Chain A
Amino acid sequence: MNGARGRWGRALGRCAVIAAAVALWEVWARQRGSSFFPPPSAIAARMYGQWFSGPAAHLFLTHDAIGNVLPSLGRIAAGLAIAVVVGGVAGVAIGRSVALSGYLDPLLQFARALPAVTLVPVFIALFRIGTEMEVATIAFGTVWPILLNTIDGARSVDPVQMETARAFRLPGRQRLTKLIIPATMPRFFAGLRLSLSLALVLMVFAELAGSSNGLGYEMNDAESSFDMTWVWATIVLLALLGNVFNLLELAVERRMLGWYRGARGRTP
Protein backbone atom coordinates (compact mmCIF):
# COMPACT_ATOMS: atom_id res chain seq x y z
CA MET A 1 0.00 0.00 0.00
CA ASN A 2 2.38 2.70 1.22
CA GLY A 3 5.93 2.62 -0.07
CA ALA A 4 9.02 1.48 1.75
CA ARG A 5 9.16 4.91 3.29
CA GLY A 6 5.85 4.47 5.10
CA ARG A 7 6.92 1.07 6.33
CA TRP A 8 10.20 2.37 7.74
CA GLY A 9 8.40 5.32 9.23
CA ARG A 10 5.99 3.02 11.05
CA ALA A 11 8.84 0.78 12.26
CA LEU A 12 10.66 3.84 13.57
CA GLY A 13 7.50 5.00 15.33
CA ARG A 14 7.12 1.63 17.01
CA CYS A 15 10.74 1.69 18.22
CA ALA A 16 10.16 5.18 19.59
CA VAL A 17 7.21 3.95 21.65
CA ILE A 18 9.28 1.10 23.10
CA ALA A 19 12.16 3.46 23.87
CA ALA A 20 9.81 5.89 25.59
CA ALA A 21 8.28 3.12 27.69
CA VAL A 22 11.70 1.88 28.78
CA ALA A 23 12.79 5.44 29.59
CA LEU A 24 9.67 6.00 31.69
CA TRP A 25 10.29 2.74 33.53
CA GLU A 26 13.90 3.80 34.15
CA VAL A 27 12.92 7.20 35.59
CA TRP A 28 10.12 5.74 37.67
CA ALA A 29 12.27 2.90 39.07
CA ARG A 30 15.15 5.24 39.95
CA GLN A 31 12.87 7.65 41.77
CA ARG A 32 11.15 4.88 43.58
CA GLY A 33 14.38 3.13 44.49
CA SER A 34 12.51 -0.06 45.39
CA SER A 35 14.53 -3.24 45.37
CA PHE A 36 11.49 -5.02 43.92
CA PHE A 37 11.51 -2.85 40.81
CA PRO A 38 15.07 -2.36 39.59
CA PRO A 39 15.59 0.07 36.68
CA PRO A 40 15.95 -1.39 33.14
CA SER A 41 19.58 -0.37 32.96
CA ALA A 42 20.35 -2.57 35.99
CA ILE A 43 18.33 -5.42 34.46
CA ALA A 44 20.17 -5.11 31.15
CA ALA A 45 23.53 -5.07 32.91
CA ARG A 46 22.53 -8.13 34.86
CA MET A 47 21.37 -9.95 31.73
CA TYR A 48 24.68 -9.20 30.08
CA GLY A 49 26.66 -10.35 33.08
CA GLN A 50 24.52 -13.43 33.63
CA TRP A 51 24.28 -14.79 30.10
CA PHE A 52 26.06 -12.84 27.40
CA SER A 53 29.54 -12.01 28.71
CA GLY A 54 31.09 -15.37 27.97
CA PRO A 55 34.17 -16.13 25.86
CA ALA A 56 33.97 -15.60 22.11
CA ALA A 57 34.59 -19.31 21.60
CA HIS A 58 31.20 -19.95 23.24
CA LEU A 59 29.48 -17.30 21.13
CA PHE A 60 29.72 -14.99 24.17
CA LEU A 61 27.40 -17.24 26.13
CA THR A 62 28.29 -17.65 29.77
CA HIS A 63 28.43 -20.92 31.61
CA ASP A 64 25.05 -20.07 33.09
CA ALA A 65 23.48 -19.44 29.68
CA ILE A 66 24.76 -22.76 28.38
CA GLY A 67 23.60 -24.50 31.53
CA ASN A 68 20.14 -22.94 31.75
CA VAL A 69 19.02 -21.09 28.62
CA LEU A 70 20.04 -23.73 26.09
CA PRO A 71 18.34 -26.64 27.89
CA SER A 72 15.13 -24.63 28.08
CA LEU A 73 15.28 -23.86 24.38
CA GLY A 74 16.02 -27.50 23.64
CA ARG A 75 12.97 -28.62 25.60
CA ILE A 76 10.76 -26.15 23.77
CA ALA A 77 12.13 -27.35 20.46
CA ALA A 78 11.61 -31.02 21.34
CA GLY A 79 8.13 -30.46 22.76
CA LEU A 80 7.03 -28.39 19.79
CA ALA A 81 8.52 -30.86 17.34
CA ILE A 82 6.43 -33.64 18.86
CA ALA A 83 3.34 -31.41 18.84
CA VAL A 84 3.89 -30.39 15.21
CA VAL A 85 4.36 -33.95 13.98
CA VAL A 86 1.53 -35.45 16.02
CA GLY A 87 -0.83 -32.51 15.58
CA GLY A 88 -0.10 -32.14 11.88
CA VAL A 89 -0.35 -35.80 10.93
CA ALA A 90 -3.31 -36.63 13.16
CA GLY A 91 -4.98 -33.34 12.23
CA VAL A 92 -4.94 -34.05 8.51
CA ALA A 93 -6.08 -37.64 9.06
CA ILE A 94 -8.94 -36.69 11.38
CA GLY A 95 -9.93 -33.66 9.32
CA ARG A 96 -10.24 -35.66 6.12
CA SER A 97 -12.09 -38.57 7.67
CA VAL A 98 -15.72 -37.90 8.46
CA ALA A 99 -15.93 -41.04 10.58
CA LEU A 100 -12.79 -40.32 12.60
CA SER A 101 -13.72 -36.72 13.33
CA GLY A 102 -17.26 -37.75 14.26
CA TYR A 103 -16.02 -40.24 16.82
CA LEU A 104 -13.12 -38.23 18.17
CA ASP A 105 -14.62 -34.76 18.34
CA PRO A 106 -16.07 -34.94 21.87
CA LEU A 107 -12.87 -36.49 23.16
CA LEU A 108 -10.74 -33.81 21.53
CA GLN A 109 -12.88 -30.99 22.87
CA PHE A 110 -12.60 -32.47 26.36
CA ALA A 111 -8.84 -32.95 26.15
CA ARG A 112 -8.36 -29.43 24.83
CA ALA A 113 -10.29 -27.93 27.73
CA LEU A 114 -7.91 -29.62 30.14
CA PRO A 115 -5.19 -27.14 31.18
CA ALA A 116 -1.86 -28.75 30.39
CA VAL A 117 -0.24 -27.42 33.57
CA THR A 118 -2.57 -29.50 35.71
CA LEU A 119 -1.00 -32.59 34.23
CA VAL A 120 2.48 -31.67 35.44
CA PRO A 121 2.07 -33.76 38.63
CA VAL A 122 1.01 -36.71 36.49
CA PHE A 123 3.95 -36.24 34.18
CA ILE A 124 6.29 -35.92 37.16
CA ALA A 125 5.02 -39.28 38.38
CA LEU A 126 5.23 -40.79 34.92
CA PHE A 127 8.59 -39.49 33.76
CA ARG A 128 10.36 -38.40 36.94
CA ILE A 129 11.65 -34.85 37.31
CA GLY A 130 13.75 -33.74 34.39
CA THR A 131 13.78 -33.16 30.70
CA GLU A 132 11.36 -35.96 29.80
CA MET A 133 8.66 -34.57 32.06
CA GLU A 134 9.16 -31.05 30.77
CA VAL A 135 9.13 -32.07 27.13
CA ALA A 136 5.98 -34.13 27.77
CA THR A 137 4.28 -31.14 29.37
CA ILE A 138 5.19 -28.82 26.50
CA ALA A 139 4.21 -31.39 23.87
CA PHE A 140 0.89 -32.16 25.53
CA GLY A 141 0.04 -28.51 25.99
CA THR A 142 1.02 -27.29 22.55
CA VAL A 143 -0.42 -30.15 20.52
CA TRP A 144 -4.04 -28.98 20.89
CA PRO A 145 -4.00 -25.67 19.04
CA ILE A 146 -2.03 -27.31 16.23
CA LEU A 147 -4.22 -30.41 16.12
CA LEU A 148 -7.58 -28.64 16.27
CA ASN A 149 -6.62 -25.98 13.75
CA THR A 150 -5.19 -28.57 11.38
CA ILE A 151 -8.37 -30.66 11.67
CA ASP A 152 -10.41 -27.60 10.81
CA GLY A 153 -8.16 -26.69 7.91
CA ALA A 154 -8.10 -30.19 6.44
CA ARG A 155 -11.85 -30.50 6.84
CA SER A 156 -12.56 -27.26 5.02
CA VAL A 157 -10.52 -27.85 1.87
CA ASP A 158 -12.56 -26.23 -0.90
CA PRO A 159 -14.93 -28.85 -2.39
CA VAL A 160 -14.39 -27.34 -5.85
CA GLN A 161 -10.66 -28.03 -5.47
CA MET A 162 -11.38 -31.57 -4.32
CA GLU A 163 -13.67 -32.09 -7.30
CA THR A 164 -10.98 -30.66 -9.57
CA ALA A 165 -8.51 -33.18 -8.18
CA ARG A 166 -10.98 -35.96 -8.92
CA ALA A 167 -11.79 -34.66 -12.40
CA PHE A 168 -8.08 -34.62 -13.24
CA ARG A 169 -7.58 -38.05 -11.69
CA LEU A 170 -4.88 -36.95 -9.26
CA PRO A 171 -3.71 -40.05 -7.40
CA GLY A 172 -4.21 -40.15 -3.63
CA ARG A 173 -0.66 -39.23 -2.76
CA GLN A 174 -0.74 -36.12 -4.93
CA ARG A 175 -4.13 -35.15 -3.61
CA LEU A 176 -2.51 -35.18 -0.19
CA THR A 177 0.75 -33.39 -0.99
CA LYS A 178 -0.45 -31.00 -3.69
CA LEU A 179 -3.91 -30.16 -2.43
CA ILE A 180 -4.84 -31.13 1.11
CA ILE A 181 -1.58 -30.24 2.84
CA PRO A 182 -1.07 -26.86 1.12
CA ALA A 183 -4.73 -25.99 1.66
CA THR A 184 -4.41 -26.87 5.35
CA MET A 185 -1.21 -24.87 5.89
CA PRO A 186 -2.82 -21.51 6.76
CA ARG A 187 -4.77 -23.07 9.62
CA PHE A 188 -1.81 -25.16 10.72
CA PHE A 189 0.26 -22.01 11.06
CA ALA A 190 -2.51 -20.26 12.95
CA GLY A 191 -2.33 -23.13 15.45
CA LEU A 192 1.45 -23.09 15.53
CA ARG A 193 1.43 -19.39 16.43
CA LEU A 194 -0.76 -20.10 19.45
CA SER A 195 1.37 -23.07 20.42
CA LEU A 196 4.60 -21.07 20.35
CA SER A 197 3.49 -18.68 23.05
CA LEU A 198 2.01 -21.58 25.02
CA ALA A 199 5.30 -23.44 24.79
CA LEU A 200 7.13 -20.68 26.62
CA VAL A 201 4.60 -20.63 29.45
CA LEU A 202 4.63 -24.39 29.80
CA MET A 203 8.42 -24.53 29.75
CA VAL A 204 8.69 -22.06 32.64
CA PHE A 205 5.95 -23.75 34.60
CA ALA A 206 7.33 -27.25 34.16
CA GLU A 207 10.80 -26.07 35.18
CA LEU A 208 9.44 -24.22 38.19
CA ALA A 209 7.64 -27.39 39.27
CA GLY A 210 10.65 -29.59 39.06
CA SER A 211 13.94 -29.32 37.29
CA SER A 212 17.64 -29.17 37.91
CA ASN A 213 18.34 -26.55 35.26
CA GLY A 214 16.63 -24.26 32.77
CA LEU A 215 15.19 -20.78 32.90
CA GLY A 216 12.31 -21.71 35.19
CA TYR A 217 14.78 -23.32 37.57
CA GLU A 218 16.98 -20.26 37.39
CA MET A 219 14.02 -18.05 38.20
CA ASN A 220 13.26 -20.14 41.23
CA ASP A 221 16.87 -19.86 42.24
CA ALA A 222 16.86 -16.09 41.79
CA GLU A 223 13.68 -15.71 43.77
CA SER A 224 14.85 -17.78 46.70
CA SER A 225 18.06 -15.76 46.89
CA PHE A 226 15.99 -12.54 46.97
CA ASP A 227 17.86 -11.25 43.94
CA MET A 228 15.06 -9.26 42.27
CA THR A 229 17.28 -7.91 39.49
CA TRP A 230 18.07 -11.50 38.54
CA VAL A 231 14.36 -12.41 38.60
CA TRP A 232 13.59 -9.45 36.36
CA ALA A 233 16.46 -10.30 34.05
CA THR A 234 14.96 -13.75 33.58
CA ILE A 235 11.52 -12.29 32.93
CA VAL A 236 12.88 -9.90 30.31
CA LEU A 237 14.88 -12.70 28.70
CA LEU A 238 11.70 -14.80 28.45
CA ALA A 239 9.85 -11.89 26.87
CA LEU A 240 12.67 -11.44 24.36
CA LEU A 241 12.63 -15.16 23.57
CA GLY A 242 8.89 -15.01 22.99
CA ASN A 243 9.40 -12.17 20.52
CA VAL A 244 12.18 -14.02 18.72
CA PHE A 245 9.93 -17.11 18.38
CA ASN A 246 7.22 -14.95 16.96
CA LEU A 247 9.56 -13.35 14.43
CA LEU A 248 10.93 -16.73 13.38
CA GLU A 249 7.43 -18.09 12.94
CA LEU A 250 6.42 -15.07 10.87
CA ALA A 251 9.48 -15.46 8.64
CA VAL A 252 8.70 -19.13 8.00
CA GLU A 253 5.04 -18.37 7.47
CA ARG A 254 5.82 -15.59 5.02
CA ARG A 255 7.88 -18.00 2.96
CA MET A 256 5.38 -20.85 3.08
CA LEU A 257 2.16 -18.87 2.85
CA GLY A 258 3.04 -16.11 0.41
CA TRP A 259 0.30 -17.43 -1.86
CA TYR A 260 -2.25 -17.20 0.94
CA ARG A 261 -1.65 -13.54 1.66
CA GLY A 262 -1.61 -12.81 -2.06
CA ALA A 263 -4.79 -14.74 -2.79
CA ARG A 264 -6.61 -13.23 0.16
CA GLY A 265 -5.57 -9.73 -0.76
CA ARG A 266 -6.62 -10.05 -4.36
CA THR A 267 -9.71 -12.20 -4.59
CA PRO A 268 -12.87 -10.13 -5.00
Chain B
Amino acid sequence: MTGTTMLEITDLSHAFGPGHLALDGITLTVTEGELVSIVGPSGCGKSTLLRCVAGLIRPAGGRVVLRGAPVVTVPDRLAVVFQDYSRSLFPWLTAEDNVALPLRRTQPGRAQRRATALEALATVGLTDTAQKYPWQLSGGMQQRVAIARALACDPVLLLMDEPFGSVDAQTREDLEDLILAVRRDTLMTILMVTHDIDESVYVGDRVVVLTPGPGRVRADLPVDLPAPRDQITTKELPGFVHLRTEVSRLVRNQPGGPGRPGDSGGGGGAAYWGRERNRSRAARASQE
Protein backbone atom coordinates (compact mmCIF):
# COMPACT_ATOMS: atom_id res chain seq x y z
CA MET B 1 0.00 0.00 0.00
CA THR B 2 1.60 3.23 -1.09
CA GLY B 3 -1.22 5.56 -0.11
CA THR B 4 -3.04 8.07 -2.25
CA THR B 5 -1.49 11.27 -3.42
CA MET B 6 -2.39 14.26 -1.28
CA LEU B 7 -0.37 16.98 -2.89
CA GLU B 8 1.31 17.28 -6.24
CA ILE B 9 3.61 20.18 -6.93
CA THR B 10 4.78 20.32 -10.52
CA ASP B 11 7.52 22.59 -11.82
CA LEU B 12 6.54 25.38 -9.45
CA SER B 13 8.27 28.70 -10.02
CA HIS B 14 7.76 32.10 -8.55
CA ALA B 15 9.48 35.45 -8.77
CA PHE B 16 9.03 38.58 -6.73
CA GLY B 17 9.51 41.19 -9.37
CA PRO B 18 11.73 40.77 -12.42
CA GLY B 19 15.06 39.10 -11.82
CA HIS B 20 14.29 38.03 -8.29
CA LEU B 21 13.49 34.37 -8.67
CA ALA B 22 12.37 32.76 -5.40
CA LEU B 23 11.37 29.31 -6.61
CA ASP B 24 12.73 27.63 -9.71
CA GLY B 25 10.96 24.51 -10.87
CA ILE B 26 10.01 22.66 -7.70
CA THR B 27 8.46 19.26 -8.21
CA LEU B 28 7.28 17.37 -5.18
CA THR B 29 4.67 14.76 -4.40
CA VAL B 30 3.30 14.23 -0.92
CA THR B 31 1.37 11.10 -0.02
CA GLU B 32 -1.59 11.15 2.30
CA GLY B 33 -0.56 10.90 5.94
CA GLU B 34 3.03 11.89 5.30
CA LEU B 35 4.97 14.45 7.31
CA VAL B 36 7.42 16.13 4.99
CA SER B 37 10.07 18.51 6.33
CA ILE B 38 11.28 21.16 3.96
CA VAL B 39 14.66 22.47 4.93
CA GLY B 40 17.06 24.85 3.28
CA PRO B 41 19.24 27.86 3.88
CA SER B 42 17.45 31.11 4.62
CA GLY B 43 16.24 32.86 1.52
CA CYS B 44 15.74 29.62 -0.38
CA GLY B 45 12.04 30.27 -0.86
CA LYS B 46 10.74 27.76 1.69
CA SER B 47 8.04 30.11 2.91
CA THR B 48 7.16 31.12 -0.63
CA LEU B 49 6.70 27.46 -1.48
CA LEU B 50 4.37 27.04 1.48
CA ARG B 51 2.37 30.13 0.54
CA CYS B 52 1.96 28.84 -3.00
CA VAL B 53 0.66 25.53 -1.64
CA ALA B 54 -1.70 27.41 0.67
CA GLY B 55 -3.06 29.43 -2.23
CA LEU B 56 -1.93 32.65 -0.57
CA ILE B 57 0.42 33.43 -3.44
CA ARG B 58 -0.36 32.74 -7.03
CA PRO B 59 2.78 31.15 -8.46
CA ALA B 60 4.24 32.52 -11.66
CA GLY B 61 4.64 29.07 -13.13
CA GLY B 62 3.84 25.42 -12.51
CA ARG B 63 0.93 24.00 -10.61
CA VAL B 64 -0.14 22.80 -7.24
CA VAL B 65 -2.77 20.08 -7.08
CA LEU B 66 -4.37 19.18 -3.77
CA ARG B 67 -6.38 15.94 -3.73
CA GLY B 68 -6.81 16.16 -7.47
CA ALA B 69 -7.97 19.78 -7.55
CA PRO B 70 -5.66 22.57 -8.70
CA VAL B 71 -5.03 25.18 -6.01
CA VAL B 72 -6.08 28.64 -7.17
CA THR B 73 -7.26 30.14 -3.92
CA VAL B 74 -6.95 28.96 -0.32
CA PRO B 75 -8.39 25.42 -0.45
CA ASP B 76 -10.91 24.02 1.99
CA ARG B 77 -9.57 21.77 4.70
CA LEU B 78 -6.14 23.26 4.58
CA ALA B 79 -4.76 25.02 7.64
CA VAL B 80 -1.63 27.04 8.24
CA VAL B 81 0.49 27.60 11.33
CA PHE B 82 2.56 30.72 10.86
CA GLN B 83 5.95 31.31 12.37
CA ASP B 84 5.06 34.56 14.03
CA TYR B 85 2.41 33.43 16.49
CA SER B 86 2.42 36.77 18.30
CA ARG B 87 1.27 38.45 15.11
CA SER B 88 -0.94 35.76 13.65
CA LEU B 89 -3.13 35.43 16.74
CA PHE B 90 -5.58 38.29 17.27
CA PRO B 91 -4.73 40.02 20.56
CA TRP B 92 -8.29 41.28 21.04
CA LEU B 93 -9.68 37.74 21.15
CA THR B 94 -9.23 35.14 23.89
CA ALA B 95 -7.48 31.88 23.08
CA GLU B 96 -10.85 30.20 22.68
CA ASP B 97 -12.22 32.91 20.40
CA ASN B 98 -9.07 32.84 18.30
CA VAL B 99 -9.54 29.12 17.76
CA ALA B 100 -13.29 29.41 17.18
CA LEU B 101 -13.14 32.32 14.72
CA PRO B 102 -12.38 30.36 11.54
CA LEU B 103 -15.11 27.86 12.43
CA ARG B 104 -17.94 30.33 11.83
CA ARG B 105 -17.91 29.47 8.16
CA THR B 106 -18.50 25.77 8.67
CA GLN B 107 -20.26 25.59 12.03
CA PRO B 108 -23.20 27.94 12.46
CA GLY B 109 -23.91 27.05 16.09
CA ARG B 110 -22.08 29.02 18.74
CA ALA B 111 -22.13 26.17 21.27
CA GLN B 112 -20.81 23.76 18.68
CA ARG B 113 -17.96 26.11 17.78
CA ARG B 114 -17.13 26.53 21.41
CA ALA B 115 -17.01 22.77 21.96
CA THR B 116 -14.78 22.30 18.92
CA ALA B 117 -12.45 25.06 20.05
CA LEU B 118 -12.15 23.72 23.59
CA GLU B 119 -11.51 20.24 22.24
CA ALA B 120 -8.74 21.55 19.99
CA LEU B 121 -7.23 23.48 22.88
CA ALA B 122 -7.32 20.34 25.00
CA THR B 123 -5.54 18.45 22.21
CA VAL B 124 -2.62 20.84 22.42
CA GLY B 125 -2.61 20.68 26.20
CA LEU B 126 -4.33 23.95 26.96
CA THR B 127 -7.40 23.37 29.08
CA ASP B 128 -7.28 26.13 31.67
CA THR B 129 -6.21 28.96 29.43
CA ALA B 130 -9.16 29.17 27.04
CA GLN B 131 -10.28 32.52 28.45
CA LYS B 132 -6.80 34.05 28.48
CA TYR B 133 -5.65 36.50 25.85
CA PRO B 134 -2.65 35.57 23.69
CA TRP B 135 -0.49 38.23 25.33
CA GLN B 136 -1.14 36.65 28.70
CA LEU B 137 0.43 33.39 27.49
CA SER B 138 4.05 32.36 26.98
CA GLY B 139 5.44 32.03 23.46
CA GLY B 140 5.12 28.25 23.50
CA MET B 141 1.53 28.45 24.69
CA GLN B 142 0.69 31.02 22.02
CA GLN B 143 2.03 28.71 19.35
CA ARG B 144 -0.06 25.93 20.87
CA VAL B 145 -3.12 28.15 20.45
CA ALA B 146 -2.13 28.71 16.82
CA ILE B 147 -1.78 24.95 16.34
CA ALA B 148 -5.16 24.41 18.01
CA ARG B 149 -6.71 26.96 15.66
CA ALA B 150 -5.35 25.00 12.70
CA LEU B 151 -6.45 21.63 14.11
CA ALA B 152 -9.95 22.86 14.90
CA CYS B 153 -10.53 23.36 11.18
CA ASP B 154 -10.06 19.60 10.75
CA PRO B 155 -7.61 20.01 7.88
CA VAL B 156 -6.45 17.22 5.62
CA LEU B 157 -3.28 19.17 4.93
CA LEU B 158 -1.51 21.16 7.63
CA LEU B 159 1.15 23.63 6.58
CA MET B 160 3.63 24.89 9.12
CA ASP B 161 6.00 27.74 8.36
CA GLU B 162 8.96 27.52 10.73
CA PRO B 163 6.46 27.01 13.51
CA PHE B 164 8.97 26.66 16.33
CA GLY B 165 11.52 29.18 15.15
CA SER B 166 10.93 31.67 17.93
CA VAL B 167 10.55 29.53 21.07
CA ASP B 168 13.23 28.24 23.41
CA ALA B 169 14.86 24.83 22.92
CA GLN B 170 12.87 22.95 25.58
CA THR B 171 9.55 24.33 24.32
CA ARG B 172 10.58 23.52 20.77
CA GLU B 173 11.11 19.86 21.67
CA ASP B 174 7.74 19.72 23.44
CA LEU B 175 6.02 21.22 20.41
CA GLU B 176 7.78 18.82 18.03
CA ASP B 177 6.46 15.93 20.09
CA LEU B 178 3.04 17.53 20.13
CA ILE B 179 3.01 17.61 16.33
CA LEU B 180 4.12 13.98 16.17
CA ALA B 181 1.35 13.03 18.61
CA VAL B 182 -1.25 14.98 16.62
CA ARG B 183 -0.12 13.32 13.43
CA ARG B 184 -0.26 9.88 15.03
CA ASP B 185 -3.80 10.48 16.24
CA THR B 186 -5.22 12.18 13.18
CA LEU B 187 -3.17 10.78 10.26
CA MET B 188 -3.09 14.31 8.94
CA THR B 189 -0.72 15.17 6.12
CA ILE B 190 1.78 17.78 7.25
CA LEU B 191 4.19 19.95 5.31
CA MET B 192 6.59 21.67 7.64
CA VAL B 193 9.13 24.28 6.69
CA THR B 194 12.04 24.60 9.06
CA HIS B 195 15.61 25.82 9.12
CA ASP B 196 16.50 23.47 11.96
CA ILE B 197 18.18 20.37 10.54
CA ASP B 198 17.71 18.22 13.66
CA GLU B 199 14.06 19.13 13.71
CA SER B 200 13.58 18.30 10.04
CA VAL B 201 14.96 14.80 10.58
CA TYR B 202 13.35 14.23 13.95
CA VAL B 203 9.76 14.97 12.93
CA GLY B 204 9.90 14.09 9.23
CA ASP B 205 9.02 10.98 7.32
CA ARG B 206 10.91 12.65 4.53
CA VAL B 207 13.28 15.58 4.37
CA VAL B 208 13.24 17.74 1.27
CA VAL B 209 16.33 19.91 0.99
CA LEU B 210 16.10 23.04 -1.12
CA THR B 211 19.01 24.85 -2.75
CA PRO B 212 19.79 28.43 -1.77
CA GLY B 213 17.59 30.86 -3.67
CA PRO B 214 16.17 30.41 -6.17
CA GLY B 215 14.82 27.31 -4.49
CA ARG B 216 15.12 23.98 -6.26
CA VAL B 217 14.83 20.50 -4.79
CA ARG B 218 18.39 19.45 -4.01
CA ALA B 219 17.54 16.20 -2.28
CA ASP B 220 14.53 14.23 -1.14
CA LEU B 221 15.60 11.92 1.66
CA PRO B 222 13.45 9.31 3.36
CA VAL B 223 13.80 9.20 7.12
CA ASP B 224 14.17 5.60 8.19
CA LEU B 225 13.78 6.00 11.90
CA PRO B 226 11.48 3.92 14.10
CA ALA B 227 8.26 5.31 15.49
CA PRO B 228 7.47 6.53 18.03
CA ARG B 229 10.26 9.04 17.97
CA ASP B 230 11.83 10.14 21.20
CA GLN B 231 13.84 13.29 21.83
CA ILE B 232 16.65 11.36 23.56
CA THR B 233 16.76 7.86 22.12
CA THR B 234 15.89 8.72 18.52
CA LYS B 235 18.53 11.42 18.39
CA GLU B 236 21.27 9.06 19.51
CA LEU B 237 20.50 6.46 16.86
CA PRO B 238 23.26 6.11 14.24
CA GLY B 239 20.61 6.52 11.54
CA PHE B 240 19.59 9.89 12.96
CA VAL B 241 23.15 11.12 13.27
CA HIS B 242 23.97 9.95 9.77
CA LEU B 243 20.91 11.60 8.27
CA ARG B 244 21.30 14.90 10.08
CA THR B 245 24.91 15.04 8.91
CA GLU B 246 23.85 14.39 5.36
CA VAL B 247 21.10 17.00 5.45
CA SER B 248 23.52 19.44 7.04
CA ARG B 249 25.98 18.87 4.24
CA LEU B 250 23.31 19.33 1.61
CA VAL B 251 22.07 22.54 3.21
CA ARG B 252 25.61 23.87 3.42
CA ASN B 253 26.26 22.73 -0.14
CA GLN B 254 29.32 20.67 0.72
CA PRO B 255 30.37 17.59 -1.22
CA GLY B 256 28.46 14.47 -0.23
CA GLY B 257 29.79 12.20 2.49
CA PRO B 258 30.24 8.46 2.34
CA GLY B 259 26.49 7.90 2.68
CA ARG B 260 24.08 7.69 -0.22
CA PRO B 261 25.63 9.74 -2.96
CA GLY B 262 22.89 9.53 -5.55
CA ASP B 263 19.95 9.77 -3.23
CA SER B 264 18.38 12.91 -4.54
CA GLY B 265 15.86 11.33 -6.92
CA GLY B 266 12.25 11.78 -5.92
CA GLY B 267 11.23 8.38 -7.27
CA GLY B 268 13.71 6.38 -5.25
CA GLY B 269 12.81 8.35 -2.18
CA ALA B 270 9.14 7.69 -2.63
CA ALA B 271 9.69 3.95 -2.95
CA TYR B 272 11.82 4.00 0.12
CA TRP B 273 9.21 6.05 1.90
CA GLY B 274 6.52 3.55 1.03
CA ARG B 275 8.36 0.79 2.75
CA GLU B 276 9.02 2.86 5.85
CA ARG B 277 5.45 3.94 5.98
CA ASN B 278 4.07 0.42 5.80
CA ARG B 279 6.35 -0.54 8.61
CA SER B 280 5.31 2.33 10.83
CA ARG B 281 1.66 1.71 10.04
CA ALA B 282 2.13 -1.89 11.08
CA ALA B 283 3.93 -0.79 14.22
CA ARG B 284 1.09 1.58 15.04
CA ALA B 285 -1.50 -1.10 14.41
CA SER B 286 0.29 -3.56 16.67
CA GLN B 287 0.40 -0.96 19.42
CA GLU B 288 -3.34 -0.52 19.38
A residues whose Cβ falls under 8 Å from a Cβ of B: 158, 160-161, 163-164, 166-171, 174, 178-179, 182-183, 185, 259-260, 262-263, 265-267
Q: A160-B88, A161-B90 are in contact. Are A266 and B105 (CB under 8 A)?
A: no
Q: Specify which chain A residues have a CB less than 8 angstroms from the CB of B76 in the assembled complex.
A: 169
Q: Kindly list 12 other residue pairs between chains A and B, CB separation below 8 angstroms, not including A167-B82, A170-B101, A263-B91.
A: A161-B88, A163-B88, A167-B56, A168-B101, A168-B149, A169-B102, A178-B101, A185-B92, A262-B135, A262-B136, A263-B134, A265-B135
Contact A163 B56 (CB under 8 A): yes
Q: Specify which chain A residues have a CB less than 8 angstroms from the CB of B54 in the assembled complex.
A: 167
Q: Specify which chain A residues have a CB less than 8 angstroms from the CB of B87 in the assembled complex.
A: 158, 160-161
Contact B153 A182 (CB under 8 A): no
Cα A267 to Cα B136 with chains together (Å): 9
Cα A265 to Cα B88 with chains together (Å): 18
Partner of A182, one of B82, B90, B104, B105: B90
The residue on B at minimum CB distance from A168 is: B102
Cα A202 to Cα B144 with chains together (Å): 51
Q: Specify which chain B residues have a CB less than 8 angstroms from the CB of A260 in the assembled complex.
A: 91-92
Contact B90 A179 (CB under 8 A): yes
Partner of A170, one of B80, B86, B102, B133: B102
Q: A161-B88, A267-B86 are in contact. Are A166 and B74 (CB under 8 A)?
A: yes
Contact A168 B79 (CB under 8 A): yes
Cα A163 to Cα B76 with chains together (Å): 16
Cα A142 to Cα B82 with chains together (Å): 40
Contact B101 A163 (CB under 8 A): no
Cα A263 to Cα B87 with chains together (Å): 11
Number of A-B contacts (CB under 8 A): 66
Contact B82 A259 (CB under 8 A): no
Contact A168 B153 (CB under 8 A): yes
Partner of B135, one of A168, A174, A267: A267
Q: Specify which chain A residues have a CB less than 8 angstroms from the CB of B102 in the assembled complex.
A: 168-170
Q: Specify which chain B residues have a CB less than 8 angstroms from the CB of A170 in the assembled complex.
A: 101-102, 104-105
Cα A267 to Cα B138 with chains together (Å): 10
Cα A174 to Cα B136 with chains together (Å): 24
Q: A160-B82, A163-B56 are in contact. Are A266 and B136 (CB under 8 A)?
A: yes
Q: Is B84 an interface residue (CB 8 A)?
A: yes
Q: Is B227 an interface residue (CB 8 A)?
A: no
B residues whose Cβ falls under 8 Å from a Cβ of A: 54, 56, 74, 76, 79-80, 82, 84, 86-88, 90-93, 101-102, 104-105, 133-136, 149, 153
The residue on B at minimum CB distance from A256 is: B92
Partner of B92, one of A259, A266, A267: A259
Partner of B82, one of A163, A169, A265: A163
Cα A217 to Cα B90 with chains together (Å): 48
In the assembled complex, the CB of B62 is this many whole angstroms from the nearest CB of chain A, namely: 21
Contact A263 B74 (CB under 8 A): no
Partner of B104, one of A174, A262, A265: A174
Pull 17 A–B residue pairs with CB atoms less than 8 Å apart, ordered by A.
A158-B87, A160-B82, A164-B88, A166-B56, A167-B54, A167-B79, A167-B80, A169-B102, A170-B104, A170-B105, A171-B105, A174-B101, A178-B90, A182-B90, A185-B92, A260-B91, A260-B92
Q: Specify which chain B residues have a CB less than 8 angstroms from the CB of A160 in the assembled complex.
A: 82, 84, 87-88
Q: Specify which chain B residues have a CB less than 8 angstroms from the CB of A265 in the assembled complex.
A: 135
Cα A260 to Cα B133 with chains together (Å): 11
Q: Specify which chain A residues have a CB less than 8 angstroms from the CB of B105 in the assembled complex.
A: 169-171
Q: Specify which chain A residues have a CB less than 8 angstroms from the CB of B101 in the assembled complex.
A: 168, 170, 174, 178
Q: Specify which chain B residues have a CB less than 8 angstroms from the CB of A164 in the assembled complex.
A: 80, 82, 88
Q: Specify which chain B residues have a CB less than 8 angstroms from the CB of A182 in the assembled complex.
A: 90, 92
Cα A168 to Cα B86 with chains together (Å): 17
Q: Specify which chain B residues have a CB less than 8 angstroms from the CB of A266 in the assembled complex.
A: 135-136
In the assembled complex, the CB of B212 is this many whole angstroms from the nearest CB of chain A, namely: 25
The residue on B at minimum CB distance from A169 is: B74
Q: Specify which chain A residues have a CB less than 8 angstroms from the CB of B84 in the assembled complex.
A: 160
Cα A14 to Cα B4 with chains together (Å): 73
Cα A267 to Cα B142 with chains together (Å): 12
Cα A170 to Cα B74 with chains together (Å): 11
In the assembled complex, the CB of A157 is this many whole angstroms from the nearest CB of chain B, namely: 11
In the assembled complex, the CB of A80 is this many whole angstroms from the nearest CB of chain B, namely: 24
